[in-house]
Amino acid sequence: MDLNEKVEKSADFLLKLLGNQTPRSAMICGSGWAKVADELKIIQETSYDEIPALTNTQVEGHKSVLKIGETEKGLTLLFLGRRHYYEGEGWGSVIAPILLIHALGIEKLVLTNAAGGINEDFDVGDIMLLEDHINMMGNNPLIGGNIHPDIPRFPDQTNIYNSDLRNFVQAQALECNIKTKEGIYLAVSGPSFETPAEIRAFKKMGADAVGMSTVPEAIVANSLKMKICALSLISNQAAGKSPNELSHEEVSETASRILPKMKVLTNQILNSL
């Protein structure tokens, strides 16, 4: 069974759970973001094992659960955990949630991640709203045969992180008295952290933060005409800027500390979309 067939079966399965309703939004929870779902009214959940198109995550701190939340405006899908390119299984497992979201007719997508801060004005614990990205993963999920008939061969990416949606999210953050930063996210393949020399180069390229996710999903979702916003938790200072050795544990510790703010912000966004 190819990926598109798995997506079709998955959509049929989820539509039954959804009572044939189309959710208004979806969110993919990156490192440290899964617990934001605790603030929402969850009416149904299922493990990735039950969904043909999805596969279990392999990174500590990433669950493998899809939750259906009820917001003030309608239903939302929360993907607790994501797959990464560095896991070595190709793009299928990484982009499957996006294809599934599209198959369900969802048009608004919130992407989240943890990132290393490059911009000297950023502090650990800041939340950055992506205004654009730089793809340094050495690959692109659209290489090869067309993965979906709705995706053009050469999709435009001028407004990949929808400016109207970004302004909307900024307004929601202000309403919650939460300050956000804006910046450029640079994606690398990982799984090794970057070297100090690479970080200096990325800074000259205009990057404000660096991570190992989000960009592939954004490329595919944008190509499918979804409206996307993306949030990065600045979980650590990038290599050469931090006195500490970089580790996934530091990412988790920062997320735990900033979690109350992350919960308030995402709850406000999803209830207003």
Q: Annotated catalytic sites, by residue?
A: 31, 62, 84, 86-87, 114, 212-213, 236, 248
Go through the chain and tell me how many residues it has. Answer: 273
The 3-state secondary structure of the chain reads CCHHHHHHHHHHHHHHHCCCCCCCEEEEECCCCHHHHHHCEEEEEEEHHHCCCCCCCCCCCCCCEEEEEECCCCEEEEEECCCCHHHCCCCHHHHHHHHHHHHCCCCEEEEEEEEEECCCCCCCCCEEEEEEEEEECCCCCCCCCCCCCCCCCCCCCCCCCCHHHHHHHHHHHHHCCCCCEEEEEEEECCCCCCCHHHHHHHHHHCCCEEECCCHHHHHHHHHCCCEEEEEEEEEEECCCCCCCCCCHHHHHHHHHHHHHHHHHHHHHHHHHC
Question: What is the Cα–Cα distance from 208 to 211, expressed in whole angstroms?
Answer: 11
CB 12 within 8 Å of CB 240: no
Distances in Å between the Cα of 138 and the Cα atoms of 84, 134, 143, 212, 216 are 14, 11, 11, 12, 11
